[in-house]
Structures are given as C-alpha cells and as structure tokens.
Chain A
Amino acid sequence: MSEMIVSEPFSFDETSAAAIPAIIGRYPPGKQASAVMPLLDLAQRQMARLTGHAWVPRAAMDVIADRLTMPRIRVYEVATFYTMFHTKPVQKFHLQVCTTTPCWLRGSDAVMDACRHAVAAHGDVFSTEEVECLGACVNAPVLQVNDDYYEDLDGIRTEALLEAFRRGDAPPLGSTVGRQNSAPEGGRTTLFADVTKQDSGAES
C-alpha cells in the first residue's frame, strides 16, 4: 500500500460530467450508490483521455464516493475488487493475461512470457498483469488489451500482436487463428445439413 498514489486533486471534466446524470438516472432514487462502477469506469476513461494512462486515482474514488453519498471505503472496495479498474497508472497498452485453469492448460504461460518481455523492452508503451478468468475459455488462451480480447494465442503470435501494436497497427480482434467467434477450430464439425429444409414433423 506504500506505493499508493493519491494524485490530488481530481474532478470530472466537462465530457465526463455531462454523462453522470444519465448514469445515476438509471438507478432508482436512493440507490444511487449502484452507479459506482460506471462512474469508476468514467473516471478511468477520463484519465486515459487526459493523461494517456487509464487508471483511477484515489482522489477520483473520493470524488465518486462523495458524489454518490456513500462511504469512501466502499468505493475503494469495489475499485480494488475488479481487475478492470486500475488503482495504479498503466501504459497505453495494458496487457491482461488470463491465467486461470483453461487458459493455463492451453499455454497462457507463453503468452505471459511474451507480455513480460514486451514490458521489459518497451515499458513506456506496455504494462501487464495476470488476471483471473476473462470468460473466453473456449478460445483460450486469451489476452485482453485495453478493451479488446485477442484469443487463441501462443508465444509467437503474441509477440507478433504486440509488435503490431507498437508499430501503431490495429490488428483484427478476436481469434488469431481464424476461428469464427467460438466455433470449432478449422470450421464447424457438425450440423452440415441445411436444417431449415428438413421436415419439422418427421421425428414425431
């Protein structure tokens, strides 16, 4: 906790402030504390926009707590619980590697290594952290870069992906092996017949 950065003072800028009433309005009166997660996200995006580093300073959490009239510690709890909120500054490309069992079995160690190397070589562009399940287990291993998922990675493809980011390219989202959404690798393996032409009453 010693390295905690407060970064005072924080205030929502015009763009963010304009969005707040609509966010709070989504929740019933008296339950405005429910807006804590959208507001943390708003603060994090504002930091990314203004400073290039997407994170939520403690000052921002205090501002949100006061705005939503909830105890500050409750905001700290939420912000530290989710890995989507960064309580310390991250770089332009924040690499979140899922290391939970399915991804780990499918080789997340190699992805992690590639990310660590990228951070070691280009710490001004990349930052990385291990996270728990990102919910894309079918396409494991998965890497989240800022808001986007890159799937079916291995060490070499990860390195290529990160190199593309560094060059300023915008690599395609999703699977890196050409998989369509979460369909089986190499195309579908079942349901070849055109189901719409079958007689629906045939089985009964």
Chain B
Amino acid sequence: MAKVTVDGIEIEVPNGFTVLQAAEAAGKEIPRFCYHERLSIAGNCRMCLVEIEKMPKPVASCGQPVGEGMVIFTDTEKVRQARRNVMEFLLINHPLDCPICDQGGECDLQDEAMGYGRDHSRYLENKRAVTDKNFGPLVKTVMTRCIQCTRCVRFLSEVAGVPELGATSRGETMEITNYVERGLTSELSGNIIDLCPVGALTAKPYAFVARTWELRKTDSIDVFDAVGTNIRIDSRGGEVLRILPRINDAVNEEWLADKSRFALDGLKRKRLDRPWIRVAGKLQPASWDSALAALAARIASAAPSRIGAIAGNLCDAESMMALKDLMTALGSHNLDCRQDGTALDASQREFYLFNTTIEGIDEADAVLFVGVDPRREAPVLNARLRRRWVENLNFVAGMIGRKTDVTYACTHLGDDGAALRAMLDPEHEFTKKLAAAKKPMMIIGQQALARLDGAAVFAACWQIAGAADMLAADWHGFNVLHNAAARVGGLDLGFVPQEGGKDVAAMLNGGVDVLWLLGADELDMTKIPPETFVIYQGHHGDRGAARADLILPGAAYTEKPGTYVNTEGRAQLAQRAIFPPGEAREDWTIIRAASAALGKPLPYNDIEALRRRMIKVSPVFGAPDVVRRIAHADGAKPAGDVAHLTDAPFTPAFETYYQTDPISRASPTMAKCATEIPAPLQRAAE
C-alpha cells in the first residue's frame, strides 16, 4: 500500500495504482478521453494532467504509478490551464457539428469542453478533414470527429481479439482505419460505439433517430443468448430505439454482443398484433373472445394425454410457469422446453448449469469445448475466456467440434464423437493437460447434446470431467453453455416431460392432437402432421405462426416484465419498456385468460402472485441477481451410457450468428450483417 495525498486528502491505495485511480479513490474526478479502465493505458489524449509535488511539469495521471508519499493536486490553476490547452489542441481539428452529431448530449468531448473549452477558436488555418471509413453495417464513421484516443483499436485487439482496426500514417495524416474497407467481423463490434468518447463512431441503424435526452430508459435483460447480459432499453413513445449494455461485473462487465444491440429493428416488423384462426386452410383475423373460445373448444375435445406444450428460446419464466400450471390442470404430462431436443437432465441443477459461473472463468487455467462455438453462441462470455487467456500464460484451450477462430489459442482436437472418445484415455495429450491444470473447465454446447447420442456425449464429458478433477468440492468445472435465454428458467421450473409425458420429438411426430407452441420457432414444422391442431403463442410471424391453426399474439421481451435465468443459473428481472403492439398481450396473461376460458382458472391474478408461485417451484426465483456456486454433489451421475457414443461429427449450433431467432430474422440490420459480414467458414477458407 502507498500513502498519497490528493488535494489534501490522505488515502492509502495499493501499489501499482495509477495516480488517476488514486484520485478517483479520493473522490476526485479526472477528465479523460483515451483512458478506459477495461483497456490498456495509452496516455495519448493528455486530458488527465495533474500536478504532482516535486515534478516539474504536469503529469498524465492515467499512466503514472503512485509512489509513497506522493502529493497530488488535481485542481490547481496550472492543471486547469494545462487541460484548457490540451482541449484547445483537441478542438483544432474537431468539427463544430454538435447539432447534427448523434453523440450530442452524451459526448465526453462536449461535456469536457463545457469545463475546459475556450469560447472561440484561435485557429485560422484550414481544418483537417478525414474520409469516412467502411466499418460494416453496424458502425457509422465520421472520422473527421475522431480525436485518436485509440479506444476502438485497443478494444478490438485486446477484448474482442479481432485486431482489425489500427492507426495508419502519422502526424496530421494519421487515421483510424481498417485499411481494407471491409466491415468489422467481430461479434462485439458495437461496443466501440459506446467506447468512442466523441461522435466518430456511432450506431449506423440509429443514425439521426433520436436525441439521448428524449429517451426513456428501462433496465432489462438481453434474450439473444443465455449469458443474461444486463441491458438498458432506450425508448421513445411506443418504440424501442436503442439498446445499450448496463454494467454488471459478474455477467457482462460492460459489453454487449452485436445481435443483442442491433436486432431491435426486428421488433417492429412481422409482428403478430391480433389473434388469427385458420379457417378452411387460411388464417383469418379474429377477436380475442373468438380465439379463446376456439382454443377452449379444441382443447376440451382432446384427451389430456393428447395435449402438449413446447416452450421456445425467448420465453420469460412467468409464461412458462403459467403454461406448465395450465397443462397440469388439464391433466397433460406433455411438456418440453428443450425445443432443440437436447438430452439435458433436469433432475439436478449441476447437470444443466454453467457451474463454474461466469466470474469463475477468471480462476480457470484450462478449458475444453465440446460441440460449442463460444464466440458465436455467447460472445460476451467468450471475451471473458479470452481475457483469462491473455492474463494467464499457462491457460490452455482445446476444442472438439467444428474448427473456428475463438480469438485465442485453442487446440483443435477433432470434430466428431471419436475425438471425444479418445479423450477418455488418460494418456491422451490434452486429457493430461486437463489433469495437470489446477482449475480446469469443460464447456458443452447445445449441439453436442441435441444429437441422437446426446446422453452418451453428456456421460462421456462427465467422465472426462471427473477424471480431470473438475468435480471437486471447491471447484465445479463442468459447464453447459446454453444459447437460449429461456432454457435454464424452463428447466428450473421443470418444464420437461412429466411422469409418462412425451418429449419434443414425440409431440412433433403426431404424439399429440393439440400442440401449444409458446414462442417455439426453431422446430422442424414439417414433422407436425396436418391433423395436429397447433396453437402458436408468440410475437413474430415466423415459422411457428406459419404452421399455426390458432395464433395468440404475445409480447416480445421489451414489452413485458419477465424473469430470465441465465446459463449460470442467475435469475434476473427485466422491466417493461413499451407496450406490445395492437391487441397483443403479455404472455402469462394470455395463458391466464385461456385457463379461465377452459374453466380451470389459474390461482393467480397478478404477476406478484405468479412470482410467488414460481418461488415455491424453485427458490432460484426468490433470489434474483444472485448466483451461488454449487458444489458437486457426491454420487450425482448422469443417466447416459458412454458406450452409446457414436462417431458422428459435431455440428455448429447455427451457421450465421446474426439470424438465429424470430426477432433477428425479422431485422433488416441483421439481414444486412448476414450478407455483408463474411461467415466464419468463408474467412477460414481465405
């Protein structure tokens, strides 16, 4: 610890702290443009100058380590004058286009210019102009505004691990560019928009849409992957205009994946805004009363064992709870939330959770991926794995599955079941590495479990984990990485086949007469026989709605309060930002209304009562935002048999990252990304 004095305040800070950090610890704000606490220190904006006793010149506080007994002044006349001069230089080439700049109102340069800017310019020469660059369909560039802080360059190189930006040329001709005039290929590229302290990098789809002070801000949870990224939904009137990350160090730190950020224009297209009933092969608009009457009539005429329900990827836990209770009330045991057919065992939480937890990644020193592409299935989580690789020189990663660039060194061990079986041999090279590691992790993807021999894959992974000492009392290194926001919530609520009930495959192949799809679109609809009556409850006119005989318009994740449990088992509450369009309703209320129409009213009339019911089913819902690392329970063993493992290759969960669900498939921005940004396979072939 070092004792320093900041503006007369004596504090003790750890050695290795910078002067800027010490000043912040003392409650003093230091203006900065290039410094960012999650990036390396560049020290090129010079805005954070402070005076330090016995140092002849002002010092850039961001890069100056503290020393014992240092006396720091952050607000002397000399400091203020130095910052004013820095600001004058920064503004020499910065255009005065704040009125038409999308950063206006949330611009660091604008804010600091209020404190340190001059009221006029003394610069008479021509200003520098820089041609705009093509950074792809997501990031708009106005490079004349760039003050060359290099935050974007550092983010892509250090955090995203896709070093595509750099500073070319030098002096006055220096430019931030990717040089090749091709879109950025990182799944985290949108974060450079947040990082940019000026308006050089702004969101292309959001260009000239709104001013920051017009927006209503709602805290919510992202549903495009299972990480449970904390987001802020910015809306105006009945429209969601922008989605930004919120800081949560345990989950997403302050990053957000591109699909989560930019798929929001899909929320306005292809929406189901009224009930529809299929009459003589054609969908006809209907009223809620007639829709619910038709539903009640059809369900009443079906045998309870011939009614089934499948929950999709984007469902909130509330609606799944309500649907499960309704099915139970109807006497049906046919429930499933694993629409991709994964062999997930819901009997014990450690069988389907990311047990290490996202924060636990920071302790790991080895990882084995099985049938998962972490970069595309959970970009933010992958960035954390990458950081662990950067920090820990001994970190080793291995992958069984389709070979992809995960942005860090990763040994490809094969792409099929045979490669996994080889790992069971303790003499296998990578098995030895896992065994030698102190805190090894195993991450299993959904596609590894969706195979016909999914249970055997699971058992093999469990055996490898046990042999590598991942299933210890103080370290649970066995992880299932989900890619659907609804999945863990569904499993926690027990939305799986009950005693003697049918699973997804059985329900699809004519096992039921009435099939209730709760936002389930990632199914092979052609398997459903024509005589099955399909009720689709959801928000987009996608695959499910196309097959449906009855459509109940629901709400998207921005339009309803909901609980989502992320892949590590963390329940998080999302708030409603706007109301659903037209006659669409919050999903649990639709199910509650249907239960009344069926004469079996569910015992809750408001969401609070429903949530109390959820807490009774699983205490997880009683402790939102908390995740407790579960220790491995002795004797827990999955049901699958390793002997059934086949040699079939592992396939990726999705071919294109940008279009994976009804919302992103409806989004023009995501469609543009899918066509303009080269797919990972094409890149590898280049």
Known: A81-B168, A81-B170, A132-B171. A76 touches B179 (CB 8 A): yes
Q: Give the docked Cα–Cα distance between A73 and B181 (Å).
A: 12
Q: Which listed residue, A73, A81, A132, touches B178 by the CB 8 Å rule?
A: A73
Are B168 and A76 in contact, with the CB atoms below 8 A?
yes
Q: Please tell me if the beta carbons of A71 and B163 are within 8 angstroms of each other in the complex.
A: yes
Contact between A73 and B164 (Cβ–Cβ < 8 Å)? yes
- Contact between chains at B163 and A77 (CB < 8 Å): no
> In the complex, which residues of chain B have a beta carbon less than 8 angstroms from the beta carbon of A58?
179-180
B169 lies within 8 A of chain A by Cβ:
yes
Given A1-B131, A1-B179, A1-B181, A74-B169 contact (CB < 8 Å)? no
Q: Does A80 count as interface, using CB distance less than 8 angstroms?
A: yes
Q: How far is the CA of A76 from the CA of B176 in the complex (A)?
A: 12
**Is B617 at the interface (CB under 8 A from chain A)?**
no
Number of A-B contacts (CB under 8 A): 36
| Chain A residue nearest in CB terms to B177 | A1
B167 in the interface (beta carbon within 8 A): yes
Q: Is B561 an interface residue (CB 8 A)?
A: no
Give Cα A58–Cα B169 distance, bound, in whole angstroms. 15
Q: Which residue of A lies closest to B165 (CB)?
A: A73
A71 engages B131 (CB within 8 Å): no
A77 touches B164 (CB 8 A): no
Contact (Cβ within 8 A) B167 A77 = yes
B162: nearest chain-A partner, CB-CB: A71
The reply on B166 being an interface residue by CB < 8 A is: yes
Q: CB within 8 A of A71: which of B164, B169, B170, B171?
A: B164
Known contacts A1-B177, A1-B181; is A80 also within 8 Å of B169 by CB? yes
Residues on the A chain within 8 Å of B169, using CB: 80-81
Query: Which A residues are in CB contact (< 8 Å) with B181?
Result: 1, 4
A4-44 to B contact mask, C-beta < 8 Å, 1/0: 10000000000000000000000000000000000000000
Interface string of B247-264 (1 = CB under 8 A from A): 000000000000000000
* Separation of A1 and B167 alpha carbons in the complex (Å): 14
Interchain CB contact under 8 A, A77 and B168: yes
Taking a contact as CB atoms under 8 Å apart, the answer to whether B163 and A80 are in contact is no
A73 to B167, CA, bound (A): 9
Closest residue of chain B to A83 (Cβ to Cβ) is B170
**Complex alpha-carbon distance, A81 and B133, angstroms:** 18
Closest Cβ neighbor of B156 among chain A residues:
A73
The reply to whether A73 and B163 contact each other, CB–CB distance below 8 Å, is: yes
Residues of A within 8 A of B157 (CB): 71
Bound-state CA distance A9–B36 (Å) is: 40
Q: Within the assembled complex, what's the spacing in Å between the Cα atoms of A72 and B182? A: 13
Question: In the assembled complex, how far is the CB of residue B169 from the closest CB belonging to chain A, in whole angstroms?
Answer: 5
* Whole-angstrom CA separation of A18 from B307 in the bound complex: 74
B131-A77 in contact (CB<8A) = no
| Residues of chain B with a CB closer than 8 A to A73's CB | 163-166, 178-179
Chain A residues with Cβ under 8 A from B133's Cβ? 1
Task: Look across to chain A and name the residue whose beta carbon is closest to the beta carbon of B173.
Answer: A80
Report whether A76 and B171 are in contact in the complex, using a CB–CB cutoff of 8 Å: no
Measured CB to CB, the closest approach of chain A to B176, in angstroms, equals 11
Most buried by B among A4, A73, A74: A73
Least CB distance, A59 to chain B, in whole angstroms: 11
Hey, what's the 0/1 contact readout for A31-63 against B, CB within 8 Å counting as 1? 000000000000000000000000000100000
What are the residues of chain B within 8 A of A77 when measuring CB–CB?
166-168
**How near does chain A come to B133, taking the closest CB pair, in angstroms?**
8
Identify which of B169, B171, B179, B181 gathers the most chain A CB atoms within 10 Å of its CB: B179
| Distance between Cα atoms of A169 and B168 in the complex (Å) | 37
1/0 per residue, CB under 8 A from B, across A74-97: the answer is 101100110000000000000000
Q: Output the least CB separation between A31 and chain B (Å).
A: 15
Q: Which of B140-181 contact A (CB under 8 A)?
A: 157, 163-171, 177-181
Q: B64 to nearest A CB, angstroms?
A: 27
What CA separation (Å) do A58 and B168 show in the bound complex? 13
Whether A80 contacts B168 by the Cβ 8 Å rule is: yes
Contacts of B179 in A (CB 8 A): 1, 4, 58, 72-73, 76, 80
The distance from the CB of B372 to the nearest CB of chain A, in whole angstroms, is 25
Cα–Cα distance between A132 and B166 once the two chains are bound (Å): 22
* Distance to closest chain A CB from B55 (angstroms): 30
Closest residue on chain B to residue A6 by CB atoms: B180
Considering the complex, which residues of chain B in the window 186-218 have a beta carbon less than 8 Å from any beta carbon of chain A?
A: none
Once bound together, how far apart are the Cα atoms of A76 and B181, in whole Å?
13
Interface residues of A in 107-163 (CB under 8 A from B): 132
Distance in angstroms between the alpha carbons of A144 and B166 in the assembled complex:
29
Taking Cβ atoms with an 8 Å cutoff, the residues of A that contact B are 1, 4, 58, 71-74, 76-77, 80-81, 132
| A-B contact list, 7 entries, CB within 8 Å | A1-B133, A58-B180, A73-B165, A73-B179, A77-B167, A80-B168, A81-B169
Knowing that A1-B181, A71-B163, A80-B168 are A-B contacts, what are 6 other residue pairs whose CB atoms are under 8 Å apart, sorted by A's residue number?
A: A1-B177, A58-B180, A72-B180, A73-B179, A77-B167, A80-B179
